Chain A
Amino acid sequence: MSTRGRSELQINLATNIVIISMAMLFATLFMGYAIYRSSAPVWPPMGVQRVSLFLPSLSTVVLFISSFFCYQVSVSTKKNELSKGHKYLNLTILFGLGFMVLQGLLWNQMKSSGLFVSSGIFASITYAFTWIHFAHMIAGLVALLYLKKILRSETKNLMTKTTSVENFWYFLEIVWIIMFITLFVF
């Protein structure tokens, strides 16, 4: 194996292990959710209103657009159009921040409709899952900022590092979509 191939393999392995670890964390949360939901006689529990779909749907669209721009970053990097990649990266970060603002609005809306963190298992799950996802979004943003830094100059393994950061961002997107479907839609 060449030196270059080896360091690419190392970066890919490390990213995948980190993603697997985080996937196990979220898988545990969803397993718990499945158990709560399947053992509850009705869902949402009696006296609890579903969360309005508007903000979660908007969040989904915004995060999807962010991921789309994120994909364009590696397309541009592959063609060695770094300034274009940079532009797409800024858009990715912008829409990512937009998603986070929407999450804040969502919590605000839930609170004002009387759904507090301590008002039972439905609220516990909705708040906790979105919080934990949000915390990972912060990590994802840090990764994007790191990418922003290395995209400026000729960096070793730039392409591998770009796809690694992207994969992490897609992972967060996928987790959100699963949450959107299971927590808010059904």
Chain B
Amino acid sequence: MSGGYNEIHPEPTTFWSKYIFSFDHKVIAKQFLWYGIFFLGLGGLMALLIRWTLANPGVPVPVLGNLIFSGSGGVVPPDTYAMLFTMHGTIMIFYAITPILIGAFGNYCIPLMIGARDMAFPLLNMLSFWFAFLSGVVLLISLVIPQGAAAGGWTSYPTLSTLIGSPGAGQTLWCLAIFIFGISSTMGAVNYVTTVITLRAPGMGYFDMPLTVWGLWLTAILNAIFVPVLGAGVILLILDRVFGTTFFLAGASATSGSGDPVLFQHVFWIFGHPEVYILILPAWGIVSDLLSFFSRKPAFGAKATALSMTSISVLSTVVYGHHMFTTQMSPLLTQSFMTLTMTISIPSAIFFANWLGTIWKGSIRFDSPMLFSLGVVFVFGLGGLTGLHLGTTTTDLFLHDTYFVVGHFHYTMAASVLLGGFAGIYFWFPKMFGRMMNEGLAKLHFWGTMIPLNGIFFGMLLVGYGGMHRRIYNPFIYESLQRLIPVNNLITTSAILMGFFQLVFVYNFIKSLMSGEKAANNPWEVGTLEWTIPSPPPHHNYDIIPVVKCGPHELGNPNLKTGRDFQYQTEELVEA
């Protein structure tokens, strides 16, 4: 492949074209990063309010209580509690994880790591961000309207989400926001898939791509196929709420045929299960790369890792029924879904073993990106193992809708993605902004996150196993659950602690942005393409499109004569 189509676009000159409506993938990535961090903070604040209510039912929230809930004397009212957990889930999944992992890293890493000058469709890329922005604005508006935000859970099951269950515009705006966000995701996906297929540097085969790009690419494919499924679902929900159709209203009028609330659950999870992997695949990719980079060893079985991520993506499309074991599904179906779900553990075990194989006997450098990556290995291991209990029909029937589920999906989707995201931020920050982050504060942030994080989510597994239901405002009105108050206190204390340590991150981020130590071209000493160019990269990324001659993980080769322990992807492979 020649670099022909990779023409150099003229550099923008005005403030608007440079920072606001920029076509440059690096600027769009940063826009997504700010956007994601803003919503991460908002969603985190909501999580703290939820936790406060669960540990201290009926006690006014300190500091914030009188500001937000002045009507109830500072206590979170029950209906607001439902809105809080709904919006916490929605914001974290669609407005924090998706923009940071897919929007920011996808935009930043894909062109740089495959040696391209920009995305295939820069205009579409810009529109993708501004659609996401519009969607975020719609969602924020829904928080402040008279009857409040959506309160049907992030899954928005009817009848909770129909006009009967949640009157007011909140739920409608929620649907609208998700639909607009879906358009944004699809635009991004079109770009990512096309870019990876057509703009790889000459010499770069698919298996020469860093695993980060593999993860983002698979994510984009899943996005393009399954986000429209949810799109269809929320359109029908909007029609039900605004125009009076009866898609999800059961027994609305027996003589003219009735709708089916469970259908929405099917539609939601046909989208929802691939969505789980949409969120986690980029983090897997990043971690697979970082473990190799900081162990100074080639990634163990990199090809197998890429292929197992691919087969997980394929399998993820046929297992959605395990979310619905309790919906009177035929036992034949539950057994099939259970078996298919269990098969996912085979590719998962393959790449998990590859991770361990990568760090085995490596000369590990415990820099902050590596610490966070190792954190992902640990929490994803726990999350994955607890998934087996929920994928098995017999145990799921008992654990369904308990805090065990909450603990499980937070370990997999929240904890590992969050840690993976932080690993990525610490790793690419020097490239993005040309400055190093403070390593001491980064390590403090890691331990301050990792320890309370396990307090929170392991605590959730415990209280869930103890029988605590997911969505009850005050579980302790049930005498049998009162013994769980101490564990709930532990969870809440951990959550507050973890929230506090995120301030360390924010401080470090802003401080380093302003006055961090200037970063060299290649501070981590790794060989992928983005580290061959200055930090931060020039507007057109590469003066000359690089020619790729070897894979991304050529580290620790004893035959290297260059005085380095790694080789760049642009160098001829030295046989080990």
Contact = CB atoms under 8 A, between A and B. Distances in A.
B327 interface: no
A124 B256 CA distance: 11
Contact of A24 (B5, B225, B245): B225
Contacts of A113: none
Contacts of A43: 257
Interface string B234-268: 01100110011111000011011111100100110
A79 interface: no
Nearest to B187: A18
B5 A46 contact: no
A117 B245 contact: yes
Given A17-B189, A121-B252, A124-B239, 14 more contacts: A3-B5, A7-B5, A13-B198, A14-B194, A28-B270, A29-B236, A36-B259, A119-B253, A120-B258, A123-B245, A124-B247, A128-B235, A128-B239, A128-B247
The interface residues of chain A, by DSSP majority, are classed as helix
A124 B231 CA distance: 17
13 contacts: A1-B198, A6-B4, A18-B190, A21-B186, A24-B225, A24-B228, A31-B267, A32-B232, A45-B256, A45-B257, A117-B243, A118-B244, A124-B246
Nearest to A124: B245
B227 A35 contact: no
The 5 closest A-B pairs by CB, nearest first: A120-B256, A45-B257, A3-B4, A118-B244, A124-B245
A13 B256 contact: no
Contacts of A3: 2, 4-5
Contact of B256 (A7, A35, A119): A119
Q: Interface centre among A26, A35, A43, by most B CB within 10 Å?
A: A35
A117 B246 CA distance: 9
A145 interface: no
Nearest to B221: A17
A2 B225 contact: no
Contacts of A24: 225-226, 228-229, 232
A178 interface: no
Given A36-B260, A118-B245, A128-B247, A45 B255 contact: yes
Given A17-B193, A28-B228, A28-B232, A35 B245 contact: no
Contacts of B253: 119-120
A32 B198 contact: no
The interface residues of chain B, by DSSP majority, are classed as helix
B247 A121 contact: yes
Nearest to A36: B260
A118 to B, nearest CB: 3
B257 A40 contact: yes
B206 interface: no
A18 B186 CA distance: 8
Contact of A21 (B225, B239, B258): B225
B385 interface: no
A7 B195 CA distance: 11
Contact of A13 (B193, B235, B245, B257): B193
A69 B255 CA distance: 44
A132 B229 CA distance: 14
Contacts of B255: 45-47, 120
A144 to B, nearest CB: 19
A48 B186 CA distance: 38
B290 to A, nearest CB: 29
Contacts of B260: 35-36, 39
B546 to A, nearest CB: 17
A17 B2 contact: no
A14 B224 CA distance: 11
B263 A35 contact: yes
B224 A17 contact: yes
A36 B228 contact: no
A47 B253 CA distance: 11
B423 interface: no
B4 A2 contact: yes
B227 A21 contact: yes
B197 interface: yes
B233 interface: yes
B121 interface: yes
B120 interface: yes
Contacts of B197: 9, 13
Contact of A48 (B245, B247, B256): B256
B1 interface: yes
A1 B227 CA distance: 32
Given A6-B198, A28-B228, A39-B260, A121 B121 contact: no
Interface in A127-181: 127-128, 131-132
B235 A22 contact: no
Contacts of B266: 31, 35
A170 to B, nearest CB: 19
Contacts of A22: 228
A120 B244 CA distance: 9
Contacts of B1: 1, 6
Nearest to A115: B256
A88 interface: no
B116 to A, nearest CB: 11
A132 B235 contact: yes
A127 B243 CA distance: 10
A20 interface: yes
Interface string B1-19: 1101100000000000000
A121 B224 contact: no
Given A21-B225, A118-B245, A9 B198 contact: yes
Interface in A17-68: 17-18, 20-22, 24-29, 31-32, 35-36, 39-40, 43-48
A122 interface: yes
B243 A118 contact: yes
A35 B265 CA distance: 13
Given A40-B257, A118-B244, A128-B247, A29 B232 contact: yes
Given A47-B256, A118-B243, A25 B194 contact: no
B243 A21 contact: no
B256 A32 contact: no
Interface string B424-464: 00000000000000000000000000000000000000000
A1 B247 contact: no
A17 to B, nearest CB: 5
Nearest to A132: B235
Contacts of A44: 257
A10 interface: yes
A171 to B, nearest CB: 13
B236 A17 contact: no
